[in-house]
Amino acid sequence: MKDFLPLFGLQMMRAITTSLSKLFPIITAVLCVPSLAFPATLQAKVVEVQSGNSLVVSNINRPIRIRLKAVVPPENGQPFSEAAREHLKLLVFNKTATVEYTHLAEGFLEAKVSVNGIDIGSQMLRDGVAWYDSATSYELTESDRDLYSRCEQAARTEHRGLWQDRSPVAPWEFRRIQFAKVDSIVSGDSPQQSKNRAAAKHAALSNDDLFGAVTSTGAKTSAPSVRPIAENGSASRWTRFESATQHFSVLVPSNAVEGSFSTPDSSGAPLALHFLAGGSDRGFYFVVSAKGPNENRTDASALDQELQKIIDGMNQGAVSSGSGPLISVKPARDLRLGSYAGRQYYLSAEGFSGTARVFTKQDGDERHLFVLFALTRPGSESFGNQFLNSFKIVE
């Protein structure tokens, strides 16, 4: 396990400095606020309908923008886009609505909306003017998710609304196609190159530098396997990710991707790495897990050595690329998570701060390792704490 962490750290520094300097302003300009443990409720009059899933209510003479949770209408330019807006207007405009909301995302309260006891989201799905987005349904109850799924399926079966088309295009797929067309015009790529570029952007939900850099590790390193954890993820929507193969779970932004690749260890034997990474304009979060030879180390020595290799690699990347600040690290306190020994470290650099946690244990001649890393801008430390404190190892 000697050689892979400096390499991984160097690539992650390139990814982080790229994302902080130019990526995140492009991804989102959202106001991130913590999700509520339970939905809050307000009642207000609907004064405007902006699209097939967004509306404005007036509460104490103050307009509040609302977005239907897990309900996605066709995009502008798609069939039934305007029909969806008009249908939602018919259902809610100038009526008193009950709004069950959990958090603010992209200027909207994400909410389940009811009028006269009717769930408006389920009605939009049942009438065939919107898609059910299961990737963003994690804050709905299990019964609501089941209802939404059944409503969409019933509309499909009866060929209602947009389901009159034999092959309707999902809104998120429509957006991907449009972005690919723009990319092709701007870059002059061939159709296949444009398709590959668009697929990479969709997978990372950012730009190619963010996770492409992680996997540009040389000829001896295997081609990476990378996939988004949610089909229509967002930097502002967090979800619990559970890895069955790596035996951990953690709360991350739903725009995160997970991936794996192999690289030679110090003896030339293949070493498998797995990573999970995501972020917003206010922070970047990742987990890397690995197994490798123990090399006669104790838990205590392994903790400091492995984190320092990542930090050294990051700083090497910053120096060689001429971009990004250097990171300093300071041990904070010892931790324990089940049978894993751990240590927390404070990180600091110009423009942001962070916390790292390393967990390790020896299993025979092997050493198991988890490294968590949270980098946040001032004022967003609570998101880093949310990420770090949610991490669990399933043994």
The count of structural domains within the chain is: 2
**Residue whose tokens read 């006891």:** 117
Q: Is residue 309 part of a domain?
A: yes
**pLDDT tens digit string along 327-338?**
788 888 899 999
Q: Can you give the CATH number for the domain in which 110 is found?
A: 2.40.50.90
pLDDT lower than 70: segments of the chain = 1-38, 106, 179-226, 261-271, 281, 306, 310, 313-325
- What pLDDT sits at residue 350? 73
- What pLDDT sits at residue 170? 92
Shared-domain flag, residues 375 and 271:
yes
- What pLDDT sits at residue 278? 86
What is the C-alpha separation between 136 and 35, in angstroms, rounded?
Answer: 13
Q: Is residue 200 part of a domain?
A: no
What is the C-alpha separation between 351 and 324, in angstroms, rounded?
Answer: 10
Chain-centre distance of CA 159, in angstroms?
Answer: 33
Indicate the residue among 143, 169, 195 that finishes a domain: 169
**Among residues of the chain, what percentage have pLDDT more than 90?**
32
- Nearest Cα residue to 246 out of 269, 274, 222: 274
- What pLDDT sits at residue 324? 56
Shared-domain flag, residues 294 and 348:
yes
- What pLDDT sits at residue 15? 43
Q: For residue 123, with 0-12 CB atoms within 10 Å meaning exposed, 13-18 middle and 19 or more buried, which class applies? A: buried
Q: Is residue 380 part of a domain?
A: yes
pTM of the full structure? 0.48
Domain that holds residue 297: 4-28+207-393
Q: Is residue 376 part of a domain?
A: yes
Chain-centre distance of CA 270, in angstroms?
Answer: 29
Q: Which helix (H) or strand (E) holds 314?
A: helix 299-321
What is the C-alpha separation between 212 and 379, in angstroms, rounded?
Answer: 29
Q: Is 261 in a helix, a strand, or coil?
A: strand
Q: Kindly write down the DSSP assignment for every residue of 66-103, as one continuous string.
A: EEETTEEPPPTTSTTHHHHHHHHHHHHTTSEEEEEEEE
> What is residue 170's DSSP assignment?
P
Which two structure tokens, joined as six digits, stand for 168? 């309707």
What is the C-alpha separation between 194 and 180, in angstroms, rounded?
Answer: 6
What is the C-alpha separation between 345 and 355, in angstroms, rounded?
Answer: 6
Q: Which helix (H) or strand (E) holds 229?
A: none
Shared-domain flag, residues 379 and 313:
yes
CA atoms within 13 A on the CB side of 153: 7
Q: Is residue 201 part of a domain?
A: no
- What pLDDT sits at residue 261? 63
